[in-house]
Amino acid sequence: MSLPHANYDPRRVCLNPFPEVDFSKYRRTVGVYIAGGLFALANWLFFDACILSAHAKTPWGQPDTPVPVHVTFVDWIPGLCSLLGYLVINLIDKDRIRGQDGFGDPRAVWRARLFLFIGFALMAGGVAGSVTVLVIKYIVPDHAEQFKYYGYANVSQNVALMLSVVVLWMAQNSSDEYEYNLTL
């Protein structure tokens, strides 16, 4: 019997009222599925805004005024930043970050951490950039709610990409949790 220690802790007084469901077996699978779903959701949110913009009609009740704002390349930049960060983060060898002592090159660990930093900086830059676009392009000129949606979709896209990469990272590290006590 190689049950974890917590299952028959002799100091425990109360019974655990929750049924024993072993999620750790499927954690990696479920995490990867959720990450993929979030990734697609993020991009569909943004494409929704793009399609709406391409089909945009005039503000409600004013048929003569032209459409004030469209989704342009500026709106794509935060998403592209996030996608680049996504790639960078996922290209890193996860074992390098941990840096076991006496194994491998310490400078490689340093470089891997630098890459991780660059990746997360790109993703955070994507989120910050999307908020910037939302504020400068949509909120400050005070467009109709119909057009502010483009900005909200952009922010949602980048936040969902960030969530996706975090879920993926946690899922891919979870299989090693018995051997390593990861503090990342």
Closest CA to 104 of 93, 114, 115, 118: 93
- Name which of 105 and 176 has its Cβ closer to another protein: 176
Binding site for another protein (CB under 8 A): 25-26, 28-29, 32-37, 39-41, 44, 47-48, 51-52, 55, 168, 172, 175-176
Contact (CB, 8 A) for 153 and 129: no
- Name which of 38 and 134 has its Cβ closer to another protein: 38
Contact (CB, 8 A) for 104 and 96: yes
- Name which of 33 and 117 has its Cβ closer to another protein: 33
Closest CA to 170 of 25, 32, 39: 32
- Name which of 96 and 129 has its Cβ closer to another protein: 96
What is the nearest approach in angstroms of another protein to the Cβ of residue 38?
8
What is the nearest approach in angstroms of another protein to the Cβ of residue 35?
6
What is the nearest approach in angstroms of another protein to the Cβ of residue 154?
15
DSSP 71: -
Q: How far is CA 124 from CA 90, 91, 128, in A?
A: 15, 18, 6
